[in-house]
């Protein structure tokens, strides 16, 4: 898929698109910068002073204000619009509807998370790691696209939990219970959307442990969905290396420290085979 960008190019949004391409890799819009508007092109983004306008064969189809807060929405809209041509039943296509709804949920997740110096949020970093594991396991492009989607939405259950705790006193629980709640909340959110049901077991189970001592259902070993086991390791590594919490000590861990902690949990928290592959990939990848 290609997207032509015309006019006074906004470098920030181009940079954002390229970052999202790195995260999602498969089936992502490819950017082409051009100097002039061509009526024959099927899809173009035309940058003006304060807005980005979307054209399809010379017809204006949407307009977004050029502000950082809109970049995720622009990305989701672009993917959804381009994908519509492959949908046999138009707007009623389940594939098209899934792309739009999933894109909106992913945008909400990113908006609630703190970005790092490189502009990535927690779920985006986890997704990049999970995608590398998928490549290492020889997943097909379709399987990796599904893993990317599941990784981006693994913490979708955190949306609204803070508001629930703050503004509904009869439902308040102890603060330390909140992390456990998000796996159940996420599965509830997604179970209300029929074409996202295949994500429910993964989102619900990404905090299960190989030894059966995880939550919320106490699954163990291969009872835990494979994609949930992959996300579990990537999630743990990202928290170790980016977050400052009492659980991790006085600050984020260095790569070698985090990998040692993950190796120590092989056969306990994590699938031993996945730990071996994860350590091999992260050790050899300087970008992680």
What are the sequence ranges of the domains in the chain?
Answer: 1-108, 120-288
1-108 and 120-288 in the same fold: no
Per residue in 90-101, pLDDT (tens digit) is 445 677 788 888
| Between 5 and 271, the higher pLDDT residue | 271
- 222: Cβ contacts below 8 Å, ≥ 6 apart: none
Pick from 62, 68, 59, 76: nearest CA to 10? 68
Which two tokens mark 140?
């097909």
Does the domain spanning 1-108 belong to CATH 2.60.40? Answer: no
The reply to whether omega before 216 is within 30° of 0 (cis) is: yes
Most confident of 76-80, 127-131, 251-255: 127-131
Which two tokens mark 184?
């159940």
- Which residue in this structure is represented by tokens 């050790």? 283
Pick from 22, 135, 122: nearest CA to 143? 135
pLDDT confidence of 31, banded at 50, 70, 90? low
Using the predicted structure, report yes or no on whether residue 102 has a pLDDT greater than 60.
Answer: yes
Does the domain spanning 120-288 belong to CATH 2.60.220.10? Answer: no
Q: Pseudo-torsion of CA 122, 182, 144, 30, nearest 10°?
A: -50
pLDDT confidence of 270, banded at 50, 70, 90? very high
- The pLDDT value recorded for residue 192 is 87
Percent of the chain with pLDDT over 70: 71
Whole-prediction pTM value?
A: 0.69
């Amino acid at each position: 898929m290609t997207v032509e960008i015309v006019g006074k190019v906004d470098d920030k949004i181009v940079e954002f698109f390229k970052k999202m391409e790195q995260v999602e890799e498969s089936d992502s819009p490819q950017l082409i910068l051009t100097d002039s508007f061509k009526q024959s092109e099927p899809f173009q983004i035309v940058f003006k002073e304060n807005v980005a306008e979307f054209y399809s064969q010379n017809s204006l189809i949407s307009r977004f204000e050029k502000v950082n807060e809109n970049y995720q929405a622009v990305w989701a809209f672009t993917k959804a619009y381009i994908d519509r041509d492959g949908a046999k039943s138009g707007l009623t296509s389940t594939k098209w509807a899934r792309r739009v709804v999933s894109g909106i949920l992913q945008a909400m997740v990113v908006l609630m998370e703190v970005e790092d110096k490189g502009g990535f949020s927690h779920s985006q970093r986890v997704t990049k790691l999970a995608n590398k594991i998928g490549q290492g396991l020889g997943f097909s492009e379709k399987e990796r696209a599904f893993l990317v989607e599941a990784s981006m939405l693994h913490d979708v259950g955190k949306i609204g939990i803070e508001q629930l705790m703050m503004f509904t006193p009869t439902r308040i629980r102890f603060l330390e219970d909140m992390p456990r709640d998000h796996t159940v909340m996420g599965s509830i959110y997604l179970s209300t959307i029929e074409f996202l049901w295949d994500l429910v077991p993964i989102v619900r189970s990404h905090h299960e442990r190989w030894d059966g001592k995880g939550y919320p259902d106490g699954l163990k070993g291969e009872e835990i969905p494979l994609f949930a086991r992959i996300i579990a390791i990537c999630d743990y590594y990202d928290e170790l290396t980016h977050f400052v919490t009492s659980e991790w000590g006085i600050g984020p861990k260095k790569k070698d420290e985090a990998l040692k902690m993950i190796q120590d949990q092989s056969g306990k928290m994590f699938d031993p085979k996945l730990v071996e592959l994860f350590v091999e990939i992260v050790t050899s990848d300087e970008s992680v």
